[in-house]
Structure 1
Amino acid sequence: MNRRFTMKKMLWIWALIVSGLLICAGTTMAGQSVLEEVLAAKTIVVSTDANYAPQSYLNDKGELEGFDISVAKEVAKRLGVQVKFITPDWDLITAGKWGKRWDISIGSMTPTKERKNALLFTLPYYSSPAQFAVHKDNTTIKTLADLAGKKIGVAGETTNERYLQKDLSIEGVKIVYQDWVAKLQTYPTDANHIEDLTLGDGLRLDAIFSSKQTIAQAIRSGCGGGCPMRMIGDSPYYEPLSFALDKSRVNSQSLVDKLNVIIKSMNEDGTLQKLSEKFYHTDLIPKL
């Protein structure tokens, strides 16, 4: 019997077995759903904005607080995992291809047609009215028509910017544009243009365009005692807001489906309504 031949044959067989095990392990890993990954990690990583009161902001203790933060914590609780927050720039969140740096965005995002190219969205968990505001000392801008040609501050890469550019598309929402054109000044986040407006009437901006609840919060308690501005006109449109997931991450639909179940349960048991009343002082929760 050729022992050298037998040894080579055995080594060849073992190599095949090891290769097969590695292939099976790789297939298992590749086939693991995002929901399974989150549950296995016992943590869900949530991206949000640290400067977007009352949705999400840093309190006096340096801790994240707000409507979206409370929603995220409740979602994690119902998933049976811990929550970890991360605060990347908004344009990085909306661009997709997160590379697993975070699992989900809970940051009051509108599921626009453009964003759906890069992201997956859940059912809406609340809705938001858009709103214009001017400095409280302004006496010339009384209606939305008076904003024609004025310099308006708006957060960049947002639905509000798209609206002012007359390039906004939201499924199921009828968009009626203003019949005027303004001069747009974009900012990283809403807090920045609110700050510029409050420096003085027409000093840097003539008006701002944000969510009604953000402006209301700023007037109520921003700027160290209430920002000096006032709302003008009716809300030009309402937008549904959803959780977002990275479309490029394979097997993400499992987490979308689970999150939809959680959103429905939080809607049905009144949790979302209570959080809306707490942070927005009104019920902004849609009936699912």
Structure 2
Amino acid sequence: MIGLRILFATLLSVFLVTPSAARGLSEIRETGKIVIATEAYFAPFAFFEGDKLTGFEVEIANAVASQMGLKTEWVNVGFDALLVGLQQDRWDWVVASMTHTPERLQAATWVAPHYCSGMVAVGKPEAVTEAGMKGKVAATLTGSVYVDRANQLGFFSSVTNFPQDTNARMAVMTGRADIWLTDSLVALQAVKANPDAGLAIGPVLVKDQVASAVKKGEIQLSEAISDALAQIVRNGTYAQISRRWFDADISCR
């Protein structure tokens, strides 16, 4: 059933949302709509409830767009295709729990960070300590910064990539991997939702400022989104959304 729901949600996003060309701020304002791409299998940030796309980042991006006087149109694609599609003018804005890397900084123009978090290891309690991680098999999301970080840490015997973060989590829960490397807030929700799995969360291994991106060179659009983000922080909208999802304000302060 899980596989069928994911297939349905993916097909729905493909057939109901037709990607548009990346546009500058003036053209976006003229049409009154901004096209946003995400990878929608990263709860609680972006995920499907039935056929409805929801999550913390979805609500924040919708609030930012509303502050700009815009409606939103969402596109669901694989994580490693998000910036490629932005370069190919398939959408205007990528909102998908991304952190800066040198390669990503070259590939897009970045918006001000919209939350702060970090990479953690999830697994059996004895496996998520520094000593316990040595020689273990790690699982994480293809195209994420966690792949390189896992290799740089040098703890693991191997690092297995999965097309969705949920696949990496399931690899640990089914014994195909020992450690799931993911965002600390994602980990917290997953462990709470699966109390019988016996999983524990290790300390933050690397701290992150998470940001969104627009096409390389679209400075006006980036600044307009950053300004709108700052406004929803000031007027309390951000904190209201954040506390509803996490019982805390996760903005970068």
Q: What TM-score do the two structures reach when normalised by structure 1?
A: 0.75
Match of 1:256 in 2: 222
1:227 and 1:116 mapped to 2: Cα distance? 40
Q: Identity rate of aligned residues, in percent? A: 22
1:217 and 1:205 mapped to 2: Cα distance? 20
2:137 and 2:227 mapped to 1: Cα distance? 43
Match of 1:244 in 2: 213
Match of 1:100 in 2: 89
Change (3 A) 1:112 1:96: farther
In the TM superposition, what whole-angstrom CA distance separates every residue of 1:214-251 from its partner, at most 9, and x where no partner exists? 111112225xxx5614234310121001111121xx6x
Match of 2:137 in 1: 151
2:170 and 2:222 mapped to 1: Cα distance? 36
Match of 1:132 in 2: 121
Q: How does 1:189-268 map to 2 (within 5 A)?
A: 189-199=164-174, 203-221=175-193, 226=195, 228-247=197-216, 252-268=218-234
In the TM superposition, what whole-angstrom CA distance separates every residue of 1:95-135 from its partner, at most 9, and x where no partner exists? 36533211001111112222011111011111112111114
More helix by share: 2
* Structure 1 stretches of 4+ moved >6 Å: none
Q: What TM-score do the two structures reach when normalised by structure 2?
A: 0.85
In the TM superposition, what whole-angstrom CA distance separates every residue of 1:188-234 from its partner, at most 9, and x where no partner exists? 121111112112xxx31111110111111112225xxx561423431
2:86 and 2:203 mapped to 1: Cα distance? 37
Query: Is 2:108 the counterpart of 1:119?
Result: yes
Match of 1:42 in 2: 32
Asked which structure has the greater CA Rg, the reply is 1
Change (3 A) 1:96 1:145: farther
Q: How does 1:36-115 map to 2 (within 5 A)?
A: 36-60=26-50, 62-95=51-84, 97-115=86-104
2:36 and 2:87 mapped to 1: Cα distance? 12
1:112 and 1:151 mapped to 2: Cα distance? 24
3-state secondary structure, aligned to 2:199:
strand
Contact 1:133 1:229 survives alignment (8 Å): no
Of 119-128 and 277-286, deviating more is 277-286
Match of 2:10 in 1: none
Gaps of 5+ in 1: 1-32, 167-177
How many residue pairs get matched? Answer: 231
Change (3 A) 1:142 1:220: closer
Task: Give 2:187's aligned amino acid.
Answer: I
